[in-house]
Structure 1
């Protein structure tokens, strides 16, 4: 499999580090130093290489989107809330006051969300969201007009053009890795059977692990059964495992097994064109994970791609629908099962306040796009989502509406009306 990457020369090392968790994938690079080079480089990459996926940033995508074949899986990396929070942490480390500051490329909602969590005054933050038609000179003029003590930019050319205190909030390796893993798996779109094998040291521990997996919201729609004396087999839609592993970055349930049950658990996942073959690959991946220190997981695909090791670094999800009477009540009001609403609550936590389209929500849950749109309508009728703008993904057609899930706040209000802080 050949995946193309379009990156600025300054960021090539970071992208290479993010791709280090992949094997069985060949990377084809288009590296630019000036924005004017992007279009020609992308055209050359498409002509000279048979790509099965393309990863590029917001600016390269805006400059070359009309060149991209409709059948080519494309992922667009963009700076996330985490990247902005890291930039503010760097400012504190430099001894700078967090505000006033001017910020470009990030949308207003992301800035407001991160600033709100950090307790920063919004009226001291000037924001210029990304616009494909923005020239570097216009962004530079925006920052100079506001003349703040320092600025945060996600554009390499802007950082190079400005003097003084500049923080470059480029996507972190974690942000890049999630996009890259998601792209590789979309290139395997016909291979949607995914099996997971969880292994422990002693047979007597298997029952405790099975109960933990059954109470994990992401596995609410998965089939879980015993396999051998020391293993559990989990089988389900791709979206189940993509959510449970944060797009194959980490597996928080491993940490929960260690912290709540005192168990070392290793896991393997397999993707193949048949269920039987996916189980075989999961067994091989689990055996590979068993050679690592501590609790970890690996993914093997049928054509030789390996992702891992996936650790237990992310915080485990806390919603367990069997323990939340309020969730059953809300589920009934929305016309959904408690398991489905529990999974949606987990998805909301993983999004961290980010807006989501019906199509993205459908892919996360492993359901069809029409089902995703129907689900959004149900959630909207139950006031469990709010509209939040739109985005244009395809070159043709109408923009996709975006929504923010509000299940967590609804649960809190239902459990302690008027008293939850």
Structure 2
């Protein structure tokens, strides 16, 4: 397994410390000293290495996300609330007041959470959350203006360029991700890659059906012709193929084989060949389940779904609820769906969440019908802890998949709860380039 790491030269020690506990993984480093070098470093890494996954920070991801191959597992590591609290602790250790201070990259909710826990004056804290469209010069100007206006002795930053730009004017305390934070992200990415590779090794089932003989060659003859066609297709050489019913064929093979013959679940040229050479409309269904029986059941359901389409097509159903299809007979895919939400798989890979999680969030958004939701309510709906819900909101916010929508105060005492409106489904068409 090869994982690429994209990092600033000043972060090398933290990443090396974090990677020391990971075994069975080869690391390939792309190190930059200025943010304008990121794209070239990432392009070279992708060109020279066959990566199984990529770990990088917010700024590198923002600058190079369009270079990343679709389907490449990516984790965007980011500084956590603990990292911000540690920066404030260093300021106290230096004898500096906690406020006034300017902070970049952290979202407002994280700053409020840490400031509230430390009992700090939030009105004296200037925050500039990360914006992928904001140039580093604007971040530097934000700190410079605040330092000049307030006379603060220091600023807190996650961007390495800020320290060099403000040298001589103020001290910059780095709130960089600690080795523990990076280690957790690296372990999660390695586990995700291993699960992905294990899924490719799993056996899957395929059901091929003669949907409707054209020019009436007869069902038996049509099925026999389809059987012969598959047996003589080189990509199916390692598959076990047998008759199933009067007009169907059942195939067993590793999931990776079916992924190959469908061009990564995009199209199935054998369907077009069946129409051209046999004069029949053939459809296919693929199933990936925990057992052979379940895989066959899922494949039969997927084939039944394909029969509902007018053109030759194929679908994939998996036991975790994923649906891909319809796959066209040739060319580009006719559509791409994940639990009836198109583009989820691609968007999830870019955001750094699983497709299943993003699909559930899209379903929740549809059920809310535009109503805002609090992080704790979202956590309860998903069956996760409140801190996990807040982390999820932060990740969605950084990807612009939630929009702040006011706040509510459930109790007379205590701080108001921020509300958010999910914006996942509106992001999907743009992600897939659909109209």
CA distance in 2, matches of 1:152, 1:130: 13
What are the equivalent positions in structure 2 for 1:113-124 lying under 5 Å apart? 113-124=113-124
Q: Distance in 1 between matches of 2:129 and 2:155?
A: 14
Q: Figure out how many residues of one structure are paired with residues of the other and give that number.
A: 244
Matched, 1:169 2:175: yes
C-alpha displacement at 1:136, in angstroms? Answer: 2.8
Which string of whole-angstrom CA distances, capped at 9 and with x for unpartnered residues, describes residues 314-339 of structure 1? xxxxxxxxxxxxxxxxxxxxxxxxxx
Q: Give the aligned partner of residue 157 of structure 1.
A: 161
Whose radius of gyration is greater, 1 or 2? 2
**1:401 deviation in Å?**
3.1
Distance 1:378 1:48, change over 3 A: same
User: Which residue in the other structure is 2:128 paired with?
Assistant: 128
Normalised to the residue count of structure 2, the TM-score between the two structures is 0.49
Matched, 1:401 2:405: no
Structure 1 residues 365, 53: closer, same or farther in 2, change over 3 A? closer
Structure 2 residue aligned with 1:353: none
Give the CA deviation at 1:188.
2.1
Distance 2:363 2:404 in 1: 13
Once the two structures are superposed, residues 61-108 of structure 1 have per-residue CA deviations (whole angstroms, 9 ceiling, x without a partner) of 111111110111111111111110010011111111100111111111
User: How has the CA–CA distance of structure 1 residues 419 and 30 changed in structure 2, closer, same or farther, with 3 Å as cutoff?
Assistant: closer
Alignment partner of 1:144: what SS?
helix
Instruction: Give the match's secondary structure for 1:385.
Output: helix
Q: Which residue of structure 2 lines up, in the alignment, with residue 179 of structure 1?
A: 185
Aligned equivalent of 1:142: 142
- For residues 368 and 169 of structure 1, the distance between their equivalents in structure 2, rounded to whole angstroms, comes to 29
Distance 1:169 1:369, change over 3 A: closer
SS at match of 2:195: coil
Render the CA deviation track for 1:339-365: whole Å, top value 9, x for unaligned: xxxxxxxxxxxxxxxxxxx979xx999
Aligned to 2:218: none
RCO higher in 1 or 2 (8 Å CA, sep ≥ 6)? Answer: 1
1:63-212 to 2 correspondence within 5 Å? 63-147=63-147, 148-163=152-167, 164-190=170-196, 191=198
Shift of 1:112: 1.0
Aligned-pair CA distance for 1:133:
2.8
CA contact (8 A) 1:359 1:372 kept: no
Specify whether residues 365 and 27 from structure 1 end up closer, same or farther in structure 2 by C-alpha distance, changes over 3 A only.
Answer: closer
SS at match of 1:23: coil
Give, in whole Å, the separation in 2 of the partners of 1:34 and 1:365: 31
Runs of 4+ in 1 over 6 A off after TM superposition: 363-366, 376-383, 386-389, 418-421
What RMSD in Å do the two structures reach over aligned CA positions? 3.7
Deviation per CA, 1:106-157: give whole Å up to 9, x if none: 1111111110111101110011111223333222221121112211010111
**TM-score under structure 1 length normalisation:** 0.51
Partner Cα separation in structure 2 for residue 419 and residue 168 of structure 1: 34
- Mapped to 2, the partners of 1:381 and 1:51 lie a distance apart of 39
**Secondary structure in 1 matching 2:69:** coil
Matches within 5 A, 1:357-396: 369-374=358-363, 385=377, 390-391=396-397, 393=399
Question: Does the aligned pair in 2 maintain the 1:359–1:373 contact within 8 Å?
Answer: no
Q: Distance in 2 between matches of 1:420 and 1:92?
A: 26
Determine the structure 2 residue equivalent to 1:7: 7
What pairs up with 1:233-382 in 2 under 5 angstroms?
369-374=358-363
**CA deviation after TM superposition for structure 1 residue 39, in Å:** 0.8
SS at match of 1:28: strand
Find out whether 1:58 has 2:65 as its counterpart: no
Q: C-alpha deviations, 1:233-256, integer Å up to 9, x for none?
A: xxxxxxxxxxxxxxxxxxxxxxxx
| C-alpha displacement of 1:377 | 7.0
Unaligned segments of structure 2, at least 5 residues? 200-288, 292-346, 379-389, 416-435
The 1:79/1:274 distance shift into structure 2, 3 A limit, reads same
| Distance change (3 Å), C-alpha of 1:382 and 1:151 | closer
**Conserved 8 A contact 2:55-2:77:** yes
